[in-house]
Amino acid sequence: MRPRVLFVSTYPELTAMAGEISRELGVPMDIYEGGIMRDGHLYAKKREKELDVIISCGATAAAIKEIVAIPVVSVETGTVDFLNALIKAKQYGDRIGLVSYKTERLENLEYLKDVLQIDFIDFPYSNKEELERQIEDAMALEKLTVVSMGNCVLEVAAKKGLRGVLIHHSRRAVEQAIIAARNISDLGRREKERAERLKAVIDYSGEGIVAVDRDGNITTFNPAAEKIFDISASVAVGRPVSMLGKENGFDVLNGERRQELGRLIKINNTQIVLNKVPIVVDGEQVGTVFTLQEVSRIQRLEHKVRKELYSKGLVARYRFEDILGQSSAIRETISKAKKFGRTSTTVLIEGETGSGKELFAQSIHNISSRRDGPFVAINCAALPENLLESELFGYEEGAFTGAKKGGKPGLFELAHGGTIFLDEISQISPKLQSRLLRVLQEKEVLRVGGDYILNIDARVIAATNHNLYQLVQKGEFREDLFFRINVLNLRVPPLRERKEDIPILARHLLRLANQRHGTKAADITEGGMALLKEYNWPGNARELENFAEKMAILAESLVIDEHFIRQLLEGHAVYKGTWPEQEKERDDCIKVKIGPLRDMELQLIEAVSSRVKGDKKALAERLGISRTTLWKRLKELEDEGR
């Protein structure tokens, strides 16, 4: 990149000194030698657009300042610099002529004449024309020693046969000028960058931005505002809002200049959200900024964001309305979960596999104040330790072999402002338990391979199908982490504890299966539903969902009956003792229908009698009584039933 500083020198020694100091300070700059007599000021004007700052001295610096719009730094000429030149000139004779720029005449030079006994004639000038006249006047005097800081003046004197002494600038003065120029250049560049950034923000903002000064004149009018008001910035900027007319909608910019946010208005038949913010400096309002955004654009952006979040799985789809059931167990659980949802406290959800723990987690998120934030879910048992660590906490580029270029944010980062759901948290290794505990305590995340801390704000909902406290007692789960996540505890009841909900769930799941597979199984008979309620469903709602899908696919009639369900269940029940027919086959179990005590006792005796095939002696032995006592008890039961 070309240097942005130009040094206009007036004599060779100054040129050499400036170049040397420039290299020492590391300040790149162009150097041009030539004062105003050699049009150095015009050269500076020619280069103005490509420069940040110009350095020169004396009249040349003054001439440059008059014709350029960028900063000009003048190399100061000190009293000592003048005295050194005057003392040297005195060696040639008493007749001395000082050709100097007016502003450089030091007030104490006249006083020093008497002190140092140096007399000189002053030939001041303020521009090129005056310099030329003063040179002619000085040259008219004989035996004159000319003192000046411009080499061109001395060259003219030499042609007239006059001696000349050059006023040299001190190294310190040149160094200070170059440092000042560097600082001005750096500051100017930063200001340009800031201005360009601000311009880019304003010009490429999706919102219309209009700024007015204290008198109501428009000072800023970006392209989005041009579209909204249907008028160009060249017409609007510099004009009072009141003169632009109501037909373009500018009347919304009139009125009080107090703050107003989220006002819904209409401009040119377009719904607009208007924000109005005063600009206050030292307690005085000096203007107002208006931002305007089309409602349709907001809706499009919201749709796009939601679509992207859904595609990434960062949205909670389920709500409490999606949890089916009328049993007291499920109603009480929902009521408790809703109370939890109104807070941002950590929740531990306990429940068997397939009982709907994530359904409750998503519902809690969707009723909370974080519902507009992301919902990030991960199954902690599905990934090995090292992969789970990088997924939860993220990693930096090069953290490990195969790490993605640029690194990757972790799930805690993605959940910022929302909720993270840690399913099967009991499966996290002790190492990750320690890292997770720090995240929960400090609200900070350190990426794998990272060297800086990221602050995160994510609510944690954990879930487990194990008894965590038993794992704590066995030393398999950290006690401090257990108490950290077990702030609010929610137990999701298994399906066997709410069997009255099975008909509602079964019919709903059957309809969903029909939609997926194009089948037409419309309903289930009461007898078939009774069989479904007898089964314990160890896999809970997930198992029932799979069974409903099997019914929909295999059913040959619109209504599924008891016989068909029994056939499916006989092939489906894989857990010993979960199906009634299997329970009948066990020698140590008897199924008794709840009723009056006499009836249940008769059922027991009849069932055992059936097992021993009517052998009274064996029957008495199995019941633990004598045959006489058995006969008496049967007679009593018979009499009670009359």
Query: Does 90 score more than 60 pLDDT?
Result: yes
pLDDT at 582: 42
pLDDT at 576: 39
Q: List all residues 6 or more positions away from 573 whose beta carbon is below 8 Å from its beta carbon.
A: 535, 579, 582
Answer positive or negative: Cα dihedral of 247, 251, 253, 254: positive
- CA neighbor of 495 nearest in space, from 559, 560, 539: 539
pLDDT at 573: 56
Model confidence at 146, pLDDT cuts 50, 70, 90, reads confident
Query: Does 500 score more than 90 pLDDT?
Result: yes
- CA neighbor of 364 nearest in space, from 309, 419, 310: 419
Decide yes or no: CATH 3.40.50.300 for domain 5-75+173-187.
Answer: no
pLDDT at 552: 92
Model confidence at 312, pLDDT cuts 50, 70, 90, reads low
- Rounded average pLDDT over 160-164: 77
**C-alpha distances in Å from residue 200, one per residue of 187, 212, 231, 258:** 20, 19, 20, 27
E strands of 428-480, at which residues? 444-446, 453-455, 459-464
Model confidence at 174, pLDDT cuts 50, 70, 90, reads very high
Two structure tokens written together for 207:
């919102």
Two structure tokens written together for 67:
């014709």
Query: Does 299 score more than 50 pLDDT?
Result: yes
Residues 348, 340: Cα–Cα separation, whole Å: 11
pLDDT at 116: 65
Percent of the chain with pLDDT over 70: 89
- Rounded average pLDDT over 141-146: 78
**Domain 79-168: homologous superfamily in CATH:** PrpR receptor domain-like (3.40.50.10660)
Model confidence at 455, pLDDT cuts 50, 70, 90, reads confident
- Rounded average pLDDT over 578-591: 53
Q: List all residues 6 or more positions away from 375 whose beta carbon is below 8 Å from its beta carbon.
A: 314, 315, 316, 362, 365, 415, 418, 419, 421
- Rounded average pLDDT over 281-304: 80
- Rounded average pLDDT over 460-477: 91
pLDDT at 585: 43
Largest CA distance in the chain: 165
pLDDT at 509: 94
What is the helix (H) or strand (E) element at residue 146, kind and residue range? Answer: strand 145-148
- Rounded average pLDDT over 430-446: 89
Residues 437, 443: Cα–Cα separation, whole Å: 10
Query: Does 260 score more than 90 pLDDT?
Result: no
pLDDT at 584: 42
The CATH number of 206-297 is which of 3.30.2020.30, 1.10.10.10, 3.30.450.20, 3.30.70.120?
Answer: 3.30.450.20
Q: Regarding predicted confidence, which is higher, 151 or 441?
A: 441
- Rounded average pLDDT over 392-420: 81
Residue that has been written with the tokens 């948290």 in this structure: 425
Identify the weakest region by mean pLDDT among 366-370, 391-395, 521-525, 573-577.
573-577
pLDDT at 20: 94
- CA neighbor of 505 nearest in space, from 467, 465, 547: 547
What would the pLDDT profile of 1-11 be if each residue is shown by its tens digit?
556 899 999 88
- CA neighbor of 600 nearest in space, from 614, 612, 590, 588: 590
What is the helix (H) or strand (E) element at residue 311, kind and residue range? Answer: helix 295-311
At residue 77, the 3 state secondary structure works out as coil
Residue 605, Cβ density class (10 Å: 0-12 exposed, 13-18 middle, ≥19 buried): middle
Which amino acid is located at 179 in the chain? I
Residue that has been written with the tokens 């009982």 in this structure: 355
**The CA-based dihedral angle spanning residues 138, 144, 150, 152, taken in that order and rounded to the nearest 10 degrees:** 80
Q: Regarding predicted confidence, which is higher, 103 or 133?
A: 133
Two structure tokens written together for 511:
């309809």
Average pLDDT, the chain: 84
Percent of the chain with pLDDT over 90: 34
- Rounded average pLDDT over 263-287: 86
Query: Does 460 score more than 90 pLDDT?
Result: yes
The DSSP annotation for 320-383 comes to GGG----SHHHHHHHHHHHHHHTS---EEEE--TTS-HHHHHHHHHHHSTTTTS-EEEEETTSS
At residue 5, the 3 state secondary structure works out as strand
Q: Are both 5-75+173-187 and 495-585 of the same fold?
A: no
Q: Regarding predicted confidence, which is higher, 391 or 364?
A: 364
Phi, psi of 400 (to 5 degrees): -160, 165
Decide yes or no: CATH 1.10.10 for domain 597-640.
Answer: yes
pLDDT at 80: 82
Q: Regarding predicted confidence, which is higher, 430 or 296?
A: 430
Residue 41, Cβ density class (10 Å: 0-12 exposed, 13-18 middle, ≥19 buried): buried
| Domain ranges, ordered by start, for the chain | 5-75+173-187, 79-168, 206-297, 320-491, 495-585, 597-640
Query: Does 581 score more than 50 pLDDT?
Result: no
Regarding the domain delimited by 320-491, which CATH topology (the fold level of the hierarchy) does it fall under?
Rossmann fold (3.40.50)
- CA neighbor of 533 nearest in space, from 501, 561, 510: 501
Residues facing 73 on adjacent strands: 55
Two structure tokens written together for 548:
């409903």
Query: Does 491 score more than 90 pLDDT?
Result: yes
Into which CATH architecture does domain 495-585 fall?
Answer: Orthogonal Bundle (1.10)
Phi, psi of 447 (to 5 degrees): -65, 155
